[in-house]
Amino acid sequence: NAGVTQTPKFRILKIGQSMTLQCTQDMNHNYMYWYRQDPGMGLKLIYYSVGAGITDKGEVPNGYNVSRSTTEDFPLRLELAAPSQTSVYFCASSYPLQGRVETQYFGPGTRLLVL
């Protein structure tokens, strides 16, 4: 299994441009998450999904959109990039089992710079 993969690894955007951060997992996990990590800060949840066709907002959803058409893929869309969206973005997935500890598996991250 490849686990959780993310593309691209690094991207520079101009203000106002749009892009999609890709995330794919091959573990058949129901739950998927997008986080952003700013320097000196913990991870902040942007959006999450509990299954195909179901998404919901996290703590910091403004400026982002997501979709979940398949179990494997959970792309994150930035429509009008702003400097405040400069960050490292992590995708994660998990498969909670009744009575067992849920473990999140993280992708390697996408570093985004908006100038």
Partner 1 sequence: GEDVEQSLFLSVREGDSSVINCTYTDSSSTYLYWYKQEPGAGLQLLTYIFSNMDMKQDQRLTVLLNKKDKHLSLRIADTQTGDSAIYFCAERTPGTYKYIFGTGTRLKVLA
- Of 18-26, 34-42, 69-77, 79-87, the window that binds partner 1 (rule: CB under 8 A) is 34-42
Tell which one of 8, 16, 51, 108 touches partner 1 (CB under 8 A). 108
68/30 Cα distance (integer angstroms): 11
Structure tokens at 93: 């997935």
90/110 Cα distance (integer angstroms): 7
5 vs 18 by CB, closer to partner 1: 5
| Under rule CB under 8 A, residue 31 binds partner 1 | yes
Provide the CB-side half-sphere exposure for 1 (13 A, CA). Answer: 11
| Under rule CB under 8 A, residue 92 binds partner 1 | yes
Residue with tokens 């995330």: 23
**Residue 35 CB, nearest approach to partner 1 (Å):** 8
| Under rule CB under 8 A, residue 34 binds partner 1 | no
| Under rule CB under 8 A, residue 89 binds partner 1 | no
Task: Report the relative pairing of strands 19-25 and 87-94 from DSSP bridges.
Answer: unpaired
Please state the φ and ψ torsions of residue 84, each to the nearest 5 degrees: -65, -10
**Chain residues that interact with partner 1, rule: CB under 8 A:** 4, 31, 33, 35, 40-43, 45, 48, 50, 56, 58-59, 90, 92, 101-109
